[in-house]
Chain A
């Protein structure tokens, strides 16, 4: 009866010599994911020395669907539903730049009312995503109540989105030339009620979660991303703003009616996991504010420009970006004059956070891995496209 660990069965576990990658002795290689409760459809190959991570190699690609190739076989309208599949928790956010790009390349005007509805839906989706994200963050920190509360409050906003679009998560609501259908008459009333309730509810999140000393012990000072690194590595969205960079596409390049609405860009200077968790919470207030303003100013009128059967794009290329819930989401669309796009490239925020994640995990403690990993706003399905 031997009490030895069977080294041949565990690749990478070698306490005597060097392992296959030439790492020093005592390095344990852990494959975190894809079948790991704390990874999602994603793998991190983590090499730990004791409790310190010496190297973290992200390995995405488990849910790659070839969205970009799929786009080349479908015309501009057919592309709408499948393009929102990578990010169903924020389906308006991922569709928004595509719709803007198609409108520009096919020269489709947008009615004023549709622009407001789009902004409202985009902000609702931002909140829906950030609540989902916050809930999973709770799971990652072992806080089950923090998982349940945002999930429950998210239902309120999903109800609103369902009322407007007819679908709970995959709305396929934005179309080139406006939105698919007008919102019901009762929508503004109900939306205001839900949003005001939700804003009151957010205060409790701070009391219960963010002010909890154990939550702060897990996140404050963990995975500090310096400003220069954040910029150079291409971080985006709340991650970038938590490192003190005031960069929000809604402000720097306003699309639709964002330039007419009054809101703040949230930044924090700490750059740690706590800041990355706190910025979305503050942003939810701003989102509610934007949605309420848009509801107030929404004019009446048509919501959709009638299109021909198969809109053709002009020859050329267009690059459109919006601020989705996770950050800057951009589409690069090349058209050769056919009804089908010649090339569609999605630049998604999750993909841009991969090098940031690898950078932050290096030298962190294994116990800090969940709080760093999930504070990246990383969504494996979106990154894989």
Chain B
């Protein structure tokens, strides 16, 4: 966005983003799918089989070392749930202004994926939140239990699109 006062910076920056994309593609080939490259944001769609390998590569080789956010997005039309990891970098000066986004697209009826705690310890509570808000099960998570919702919550996970808050049914 040129209006954001980042216009000039972003065109310079895109070389950095291209470098990240090139390195990832060189390493993983067509096992990962590039979703978009925007100024300072690069998103890959990664299958859940290689997610651990991908994350380890991103942390050790690219220097994306800390999780910023883990978000789940429900797409009932495509019968998919995206689990989107936003990973930032503190240690790699070249990439520190970029955010690496990688998403795992899971089957909506059976959303299971391995946990990323072995690689990013900080995702523990983000993943717990995603579990209770969207019903995604993270294999190997040490405490996959209620976090924010009431202890007696018995409804479907609230951030799924077929859950409606009371009085807000379409």
Contact = CB atoms under 8 A, between A and B. Distances in A.
Interface stretch (A189-197, A201-209, A288-296, A346-354): A346-354
Nearest to B95: A252
Interface of A: 58, 60-61, 64, 66, 68-70, 73, 100, 103-104, 107-110, 115, 231-236, 240, 245, 247, 252-257, 259, 316-317, 319, 321, 328, 330, 332, 334, 342-343, 345, 347, 351-352, 354-356, 359, 384-385
Nearest to A245: B90
B97 A253 contact: yes
25 contacts: A58-B125, A61-B147, A64-B149, A68-B159, A69-B159, A100-B4, A115-B5, A231-B66, A231-B91, A232-B66, A232-B120, A232-B122, A234-B66, A234-B120, A235-B122, A255-B4, A256-B4, A256-B5, A319-B69, A328-B68, A328-B88, A332-B71, A334-B73, A351-B129, A385-B148
A328 B96 CA distance: 13
A347 B68 contact: yes
A58 B148 CA distance: 11
B165 A69 contact: yes
B101 A104 contact: no
Contacts of B51: none
Contacts, number: 120
B9 interface: yes
Contacts of A240: 90
A234 B159 contact: no
A99 to B, nearest CB: 11
Interface of B: 1, 3-6, 9, 36, 40-41, 43, 65-69, 71, 73-74, 84, 86, 88, 90-91, 96-97, 99, 101, 120-126, 129, 133, 146-150, 158-159, 163, 165, 168
A316 B9 CA distance: 22
Given A103-B4, A231-B91, A253 B71 contact: no
A232 B116 CA distance: 12
B73 A343 contact: yes
Q: Which 6 pairs between the two chains have the least Cβ-Cβ distance?
A: A234-B122, A347-B69, A345-B71, A61-B148, A109-B3, A64-B148
Contacts of B148: 60-61, 64, 384-385
A253 B137 CA distance: 33
B120 A61 contact: no
Contacts of A235: 66, 122
B36 to A, nearest CB: 8
B9 to A, nearest CB: 7
B147 A60 contact: yes
